[in-house]
Structure 1
Amino acid sequence: MRLHKGYAALTIALLAIELAIALFLHDPIIRPYVGDALAVVLVYAGLRAVTNAGVLPATLIAFAIAVVIEFGQYFRVLAAIGLDHDRFARMILGSGFDPKDFIAYASGAVAVLLVERYRRASRAAAGIRTVSPSSDSSSTI
């Protein structure tokens, strides 16, 4: 197992933002849609922090996880396992199916791909070699 410190820090920061959104925002845009887009970025960053998955595979896995969770909401999985009244479970896994959420998840995935493409191009323009999993910015656990 590896730990990429940059992605780990991003994961922690995004988790704090997501928790703040879930606990303190009750608006019709940021909480449901920006929060859902950020959830895909959060899962992506977490995957990149602890695996050697590349940008595209990690993005697709993060998107797929979001889609599976959304379908879990459609099929009322939390109610089926007796967690529909658990505030923490509802905060993490959501409580209501909304097909518009798929657009938010796709937006989060596209944002990841665009930011990573920009980062790669910026590094190339600056003459910085792409960081490999065994470089100093990661450590093995």
Structure 2
Amino acid sequence: MDKNRFRFDGKSFIICIILFLVELVIAKTSGFIRHTFGDFLVVILLYYFVKSFINTEPKKIAIGVLCFSFLVEILQYFKIVEILGVQDNKLMRIVIGSTFSFGDLIAYTLGIITVYFIETYRVKTA
């Protein structure tokens, strides 16, 4: 394994922290902002979290985050919180989610497309 694959990227981590704080504010809202825009932003947050520690191509991070997000959403379809017995744990229900939605899959996809194009454009202009 390449010894330069793991490193700390402070800029990406700061973006991740800012997005996390935005997500906390969004969690206090309801409707479109929470259920759609929050899902759109969460994959961008995850992208920058991974990018904070792993030095690889934006495409690889984007695909990995999107696959992870889809997996979590599919697990929601199969009621993973009930299978794990954590349905009464509010934090776990928020982190894992408890309701499957095709709209979430669309929001994740649009979020990843957005961050991928931002990162690709940024790399080309740097």
Whether these two folds match at TM > 0.5 is: yes
Deviations 1:39-82 (A, max 9, x none): 11011101100111210000011101110110110001111111
The answer for the alignment partner of 1:25 in structure 2 is 29
The answer for the alignment partner of 1:112 in structure 2 is 115
The answer for the alignment partner of 2:3 in structure 1 is none
The residue identity in structure 1 corresponding to 2:121 is Y
Shift of 1:20: 1.8
The answer for the alignment partner of 1:4 in structure 2 is 9
TM-score, with length taken from structure 1? 0.81
TM-score, with length taken from structure 2? 0.90
The answer for the alignment partner of 2:104 in structure 1 is 101
Overall identity of the aligned pairs, in %: 28
- 1:1-141 residue pairs with structure 2 within 5 A? 1-22=6-27, 24-27=28-31, 29-123=32-126
The residue identity in structure 2 corresponding to 1:54 is E
Q: Could you say what the CA RMSD is over the residues aligned between the two structures, in angstroms? A: 1.1
Shift of 1:90: 1.4
Is the CA contact 2:66–2:108 (under 8 Å) kept in the aligned structure 1?
Answer: yes
Structure 1 spans left out of the alignment, 5+ residues: 124-141
Deviations 1:86-133 (A, max 9, x none): 11111111110011111101000110111112212332xxxxxxxxxx
In terms of fraction of residues, the more helix-rich structure is 2
In terms of fraction of residues, the more strand-rich structure is 1
Q: Distance between the aligned counterparts of 1:93 and 1:16, measured in 2?
A: 18
Shift of 1:31: 0.8
Give 1 or 2 for the bigger CA radius of gyration: 1
